[in-house]
Structure 1
């Protein structure tokens, strides 16, 4: 049999092949076989537990290095191979994933195809490797080399733990899959970087790009442009422009581009929306073991880009104008992008908690939708989460992994009124989570950062002061639609009306210029559609948002056929 060894793309240092098996003899055997054939072009790393392997992957990620292939034994104590590969996807989504199984575990390997997008599974033993191992690895390396992104030297961020803007910069980079390394401004290396940039602690956050350019407290648009993200549209006119990169927007971009429409998606911060910040989505169709919001939306982003959708980040849409058959979106930087059709999928913002001290401590202990980014700082801490819906419950479960305790503060009388049943059961069974119903946060205080909260029983009026340095708030949502005032019809809360909700006694609304009534997801402005959480009376679920995004593209086609 003649085989060819895959050649890695030019990169320094070498890409990594990582294997993990809890049997030391098997682990050494795998590494030996890999090193014998691939050692000259790839770094071979082995581990004997999932936790150790994940730690190695985190170090590689921080150094800006690439991982080409992951090989994981299925039967490992503490963390199975499938569980390891699922977590490894968050760190290296482009890495090819191989499960090592015994013959009796082939059914589990097949199931893993859906859970972790498994690329291949190998039966043990694989002797001789020339016939049973190397051809598989060669094929996976060829596939990885064809799609692997060019390595990007590491971005460095110097900031203060309790600096609000430092927290925002870290979250922006993390949500946009930009590898960076964090340095405290009080650490020796942080001080060296500040000195080299001619700055002091008052200038944090300092961002040092991979090219060595220092950025002093940059805004999102500047930061995005300097770290290599696309921030301006490639052209000035499209068939479809999608506003917002959550599940509805990504779905529409994917289907629009795959069906031949010149499609651009314009996103204010990062793709994924609120769903992308969810630590765990367990009721999404096709993922029986759950999936993180970051995993789900990153897959959707890659899929949309593969079909030709253009994704523009850090672009804030501030206005919509209609000029004949064209719809023009005005951006905050003064530029304009036009299209035959527009889909409003810009979602919602977290509602802010009202009370003395809370606004001043935002980003310095009080966080909105930042549980994933801030979770490492909550280790062995007593943290508080406010909210009674799924996002609050998911965050409480996620934070309980490392926090000493998590208190879920709920204004209502019971969780079941607004939270999925499976989450209510998980919270009830978690010894680290305490649920306080009929309770509200009414005050926050602290010097440099959050130190104390005041809780009030909404029935008795009794108040209690508690000590904590972290409060995560999930108390509902406000639509980002103020920029549409006077252009499309909205309900009293600001959600966009569409389709049947626009009809008055079964007739189109006043000023509707066409003979037909509005399509199901069409707004009061023909050719402008809405999908997802920004739509009035939407289901506020990831699955429904994805479905609406796909449906909107079908209606876009119908609209374009009539032009």
Structure 2
């Protein structure tokens, strides 16, 4: 959390403008990585003084400065890996060949880490962003067993991190997997975008999904400057007394609406459909109905965005009539679905029509029905669909590549719930044991 909410002396000072997309990413990354920090704006007297003391100007921001006086200019970071290395976070695998490599540190990946390490497998988790995955950005989870009062995604992620490291799992951050190859002698090698790699005897893919973005005119210009694709806890205090617009009709949008209603003047929930009942859990709908500061607008979509240095106006369109209106808006949070992160795996993997990995008994069913496709970043249109290559049947969560399992949102026909992801990650470890024993 920001250092002003932590009694310990801050280890890092971040100087950056509120409407800088890079600064927004850094604030979120520092918060999710449990790094205490103080955030100063370059236009404020203290921020300007800190910059001057280090021979820097506002044009150099965002910039990170630690207590030892080290400076990292992060205005155009090459991803988050240089930031993580500067902070001293763990970014390089320490072993040569692991029993289990888990790609993705969301609920499914972290459950696999806990159960893999606790049951004697030498386990490493590779995460391109921060522990918790998309769920780590969720403001509140209320239907997860054992937390009747709810828990934030960040708190759940921190508990999972501490539990996994307690059992000896290795957590490698800010490394983006982009290739998968068979390893001589058995097992697999996962390659990273920077040329590094990690090897393991078995693999669990728990990469989840990448959030979709709005494509209305002007919206892309304000990403990180009033338009966000997660309920950033770092942005919420800045929304106090303002109107907040939220796009989406599923649980993530509902959770965000309830969360922001505690600080915003009004929350406007924009839904393309005719009701919330199509995708949102009943318990969330009831809570939203009981909060007077939440306005639900059905049959409404964002048709445009405008502003100067940040978002100032939205154009809203009625999906039935096509009529539009302009609304003053500084804050827009969109939750419009996600696409599975599977393109990097190549053509040997059977995917469904949405790109999710097909596993277990569904491999034969999907192939027979012609519902899956092998096309993608590494496939070719019209290529033969990959099938199961062995005499034995695939294990329940096993993909069309023996020894590679899938868990969580990346898997076809998964529950798309935190509890389901945790269950699949745990079950995958049991199946990994069976695979390695065979």
Q: Which interval holds the TM-score relative to the shorter structure?
A: over 0.9
Q: Name the structure 2 match of 1:80.
A: none
Q: Name the structure 1 match of 2:341.
A: 480
Q: Does 1:447 align with 2:304?
A: no
Aligned equivalents of 1:393, 1:370: Cα separation in 2: 11
Is the Cα contact below 8 Å between 1:489 and 1:497 reproduced in 2? yes
Q: Name the structure 2 match of 1:68.
A: none
Distance change >3 Å, CA 489–CA 505, structure 1 → 2: closer
Q: 5 Å matches for 1:58-457?
A: 61-62=5-6, 64-65=8-9, 154-217=11-74, 218=77, 219-324=79-184, 325-457=186-318
Is the Cα contact below 8 Å between 2:363 and 2:388 reproduced in 1? no
SS at match of 1:284: coil
Q: Name the structure 2 match of 1:86.
A: none
Aligned equivalents of 1:58, 1:220: Cα separation in 2: 19
Q: Deviations over 1:439-471 (max 9, x none)?
A: 100100111000000010101111110001100
Q: Deviations over 1:498-536 (max 9, x none)?
A: 112211459xx7553321121110111110100000001
RMSD: 1.6
Q: Which is worse superposed, 243-252 or 490-499?
A: 490-499
Aligned equivalents of 2:416, 2:206: Cα separation in 1: 12
State which of 391, 404, 413 in structure 2 corresponds to 1:537: 413
State which of 386, 389, 392 in structure 2 corresponds to 1:516: 392
> How far 1:201 moved relative to its partner?
1.4
Q: Does 1:461 align with 2:322?
A: yes
Is the Cα contact below 8 Å between 1:320 and 1:487 reproduced in 2? no
Aligned equivalents of 1:350, 1:534: Cα separation in 2: 12
> How far 1:481 moved relative to its partner?
1.4
> How far 1:487 moved relative to its partner?
3.7
> How far 1:210 moved relative to its partner?
3.6
> How far 1:286 moved relative to its partner?
1.1
TM-score relative to the length of structure 1? 0.72
Is the Cα contact below 8 Å between 2:2 and 2:36 reproduced in 1? no
Aligned equivalents of 2:342, 2:270: Cα separation in 1: 29
Is the Cα contact below 8 Å between 1:247 and 1:272 reproduced in 2? yes
Distance change >3 Å, CA 254–CA 452, structure 1 → 2: same
SS at match of 2:244: strand
Is the Cα contact below 8 Å between 1:63 and 1:154 reproduced in 2? no
> How far 1:301 moved relative to its partner?
1.1
Is the Cα contact below 8 Å between 1:490 and 1:496 reproduced in 2? yes
Q: Name the structure 1 match of 2:427.
A: 551
Distance change >3 Å, CA 58–CA 240, structure 1 → 2: closer
Aligned equivalents of 2:299, 2:326: Cα separation in 1: 16
Aligned equivalents of 1:412, 1:265: Cα separation in 2: 39
SS at match of 1:321: strand
Structure 2 residue ranges without an equivalent (≥5): 370-384
TM-score relative to the length of structure 2? 0.92
SS at match of 1:417: coil
Is the Cα contact below 8 Å between 1:171 and 1:370 reproduced in 2? no
Q: 5 Å matches for 1:479-498?
A: 479-498=340-359
Aligned equivalents of 1:281, 1:257: Cα separation in 2: 26
> How far 1:342 moved relative to its partner?
0.7
Is the Cα contact below 8 Å between 1:244 and 1:265 reproduced in 2? yes
Between structure 1 and structure 2, the one with the greater Rg is 1
Distance change >3 Å, CA 344–CA 59, structure 1 → 2: closer
> How far 1:223 moved relative to its partner?
0.9
Q: Deviations over 1:127-157 (max 9, x none)?
A: xxxxxxxxxxxxxxxxxxxxxxxxxx52000
Q: Name the structure 2 match of 1:3.
A: none
Is the Cα contact below 8 Å between 1:242 and 1:264 reproduced in 2? yes
Is the Cα contact below 8 Å between 2:109 and 2:125 reproduced in 1? yes
Is the Cα contact below 8 Å between 2:271 and 2:298 reproduced in 1? yes
Aligned equivalents of 1:512, 1:366: Cα separation in 2: 43
Is the Cα contact below 8 Å between 1:62 and 1:181 reproduced in 2? no
> How far 1:488 moved relative to its partner?
1.8
Structure 1 residue ranges without an equivalent (≥5): 1-56, 66-152
Aligned equivalents of 1:58, 1:215: Cα separation in 2: 18
SS at match of 1:524: coil
> How far 1:486 moved relative to its partner?
1.9
Name the structure where helix makes up a greater proportion of residues: 1
Q: Which is worse superposed, 193-202 or 443-452?
A: 193-202
Is the Cα contact below 8 Å between 1:236 and 1:336 reproduced in 2? no
